[in-house]
Structure 1
Amino acid sequence: MASDGVLAGRTIVVTRPLAQCGPLAEAIRAAGGEPLVFPLLEILPADDPAPLVAAVEQLASYRVAIFISPNAVDHALPAIIAAGGWPAGLLPAAVGQGTVKALAAHGVHGCIAPTERFDSEALLELPELARERIAGQRIAIFRGDGGRELLGDTLRARGATVDPVTCYRRLGPSAGAQPLLAAWKNRSLDALTVSSSEGLRYLWDLLPEEGRLALAETPVFVPHARIAENAKIIGLQKIILTEAADQGILRALRAYNWQR
């Protein structure tokens, strides 16, 4: 793809998990920038496969199956397909549009998902998850280890039986921060993109004091207000809140005033 030069001379760190960083890295390169791929999360199968096996066996008894992320789709759908495929009458739901696309890639369509804010709060506002629609129903939430409990707790309060299904786990980066530290030292690191509060915490813990000082003065592009709030709490000074997903991050990168 030919470069249009908008990001010429800019090195921008892409911190998504390795399997998901390609599209944003390529878009940055297409705009003339140099992506520095530095995944902040490593995605692995869950330590205990039993909850996923049990959920797949009972899948037809659920009314709604919620997928928290594309990683949840990637780790759950192969087991679902191997067991006979998506049950008729099971409503798929997703927090974000990337997860909708991941489900569609596996042949699962008709997914409900927010169209503006992409978080648990927005998903819970959908009429399909109102109390009168889900009271007395079973709901499975396919997710990673840990994370917020708001979604499950709210659905239980609305009368549903909720089974959280941990199908993957997240680890921090196994390598040290030397690539980032070297880029800062050479004055060749212009910005970071961070799409996870958990990844941001891993990054902060990974960096020595000089790295934290450099990070605090580096533009950090984040696609969700919660990540922006966490970045502010740890002392970052140049936080750019973008629209959602890779497209929103890229639009913000292209519109940023790099000379200021």
Structure 2
Amino acid sequence: MTQPLAGRTVLVTRPAHQATALAQKVAAAGGEAFVFPALGIEPVATDRLAEALAYLAGADIAIFISPNAAQFGMAAIRARGDLPDTLRIFAVGPGTARALVEQGVEGVITPDGQDSEAVLALPQLQAVAGRQVVIVRGVGGRALMADTLRARGADVRFMECYRRTCPHADPASLLARWQAGGIDAVTVASAETLHNLATLLGEPGAPLLAATPLFVPHEKIADAARRFGIAHVVATPGGDAGLLDGLVNWFRNKTGSKHE
């Protein structure tokens, strides 16, 4: 039986330390992954997190926004001690929950959904008046989580433990491969990654990016990609497994020539 991604090359744009898992899934399905990180992740120095860490020590709830928040947040927390025993831990999505479990965190609560809205719908976060909440995330990001919990009466602080950057990368080999018809699909996990990719590719890459099917793990990112001018945008289930499912389903439905 032919593997579903046989003969297909998928551009993987995750940060370098997170690209391997998706690349391996693509390869296992018979495809080739072209890894070109279009997002960099840098930790914020622990001494800049002193105020947030002090607040965390007396907090009731901590919400980790992403796998990076789990990795860099827990590194900062463990550098100063550990999580308080009475703290309730929430994760946005199963990928973040898995990252926390890998860090040795137990009792993580996560919804079925992949976004802030799904976490905010959890019954455990409805009656939070008077509770102290720490949202562990990167620098910047959506205000919805904090605004909603404050409206419910919680005192909310951020622990912004990493920052997103645009890598300094030479796109020459990627452009050459793409111009020769060698990139069949693009995956991005955020609108910021898409904008960085476009910046790195420059003018020569613009028509290639616009014409190649783009796979994203959330409808909000898909909307941003459509506004950006991408012709074929596919919103998949969340995480690497969801992106792979989307790729497999797309190419299974393709018949005839490789570049139909």
**TM-score in terms of structure 1 length:** 0.92
The superposition leaves residues 168-203 of structure 1 with CA deviations (integer Å, 9 ceiling, x where unpaired) of 011112113223311111111111111111101111
| Higher mean displacement: 195-204 or 74-83 | 74-83
- Quick check: 1:51–1:165 contact (8 Å CA) kept in 2? no
The superposition leaves residues 68-99 of structure 1 with CA deviations (integer Å, 9 ceiling, x where unpaired) of 11111111212323433221110011111111
Write the letter of the residue equivalent to 1:109.
E
Write the letter of the residue equivalent to 1:19.
H
| Equivalence for 1:248 | 242
- Choose from 177, 182, 186 the match for 1:188: 182
Q: Work out the percentage of aligned pairs sharing the same amino acid.
A: 47
- Choose from 110, 119, 126 the match for 2:122: 126
Aligned equivalents of 2:139, 2:75: Cα separation in 1: 19
- Quick check: 2:52–2:158 contact (8 Å CA) kept in 1? no
- Choose from 1, 4, 7 the match for 1:6: 4
| Equivalence for 2:130 | 136
- Quick check: 1:45–1:169 contact (8 Å CA) kept in 2? yes
| Corresponding residue SS for 2:50 | helix
Structure 2, unpaired ranges of 5+ = none
| Corresponding residue SS for 1:166 | strand
Q: How many residues align?
A: 254
Q: Does 1:211 align with 2:205?
A: yes
Give the superposition deviation at 1:248: 0.8
- Quick check: 1:63–1:137 contact (8 Å CA) kept in 2? yes
- Choose from 211, 225, 228 the match for 1:231: 225
| Equivalence for 1:114 | 111
| Higher mean displacement: 83-92 or 53-62 | 53-62
**TM-score in terms of structure 2 length:** 0.92
Aligned equivalents of 2:55, 2:2: Cα separation in 1: 51
| Equivalence for 1:220 | 214
Give the superposition deviation at 1:51: 4.6
Give the superposition deviation at 1:244: 1.0
Q: Does 1:163 align with 2:163?
A: no
The superposition leaves residues 188-234 of structure 1 with CA deviations (integer Å, 9 ceiling, x where unpaired) of 11111111111011112333333111111101111100110011001
| Equivalence for 1:39 | 37
Write the letter of the residue equivalent to 1:108.
V
- Choose from 49, 52, 67 the match for 1:52: 49
Q: Does 1:67 align with 2:64?
A: yes
| Corresponding residue SS for 1:58 | helix
Aligned equivalents of 1:85, 1:9: Cα separation in 2: 48
- Quick check: 1:6–1:32 contact (8 Å CA) kept in 2? yes
Aligned equivalents of 2:76, 2:200: Cα separation in 1: 35
Aligned equivalents of 1:89, 1:11: Cα separation in 2: 47
| Equivalence for 1:22 | 20
Structure 1 runs of 4+ with >6 Å offset: none
Question: Aligned-pair RMSD on alpha carbons?
Answer: 1.7
Q: Does 1:76 align with 2:70?
A: no
Aligned equivalents of 1:140, 1:202: Cα separation in 2: 29
- Quick check: 1:52–1:76 contact (8 Å CA) kept in 2? no
The superposition leaves residues 117-149 of structure 1 with CA deviations (integer Å, 9 ceiling, x where unpaired) of x1111111111111xx21111100111111111
| Corresponding residue SS for 1:159 | coil
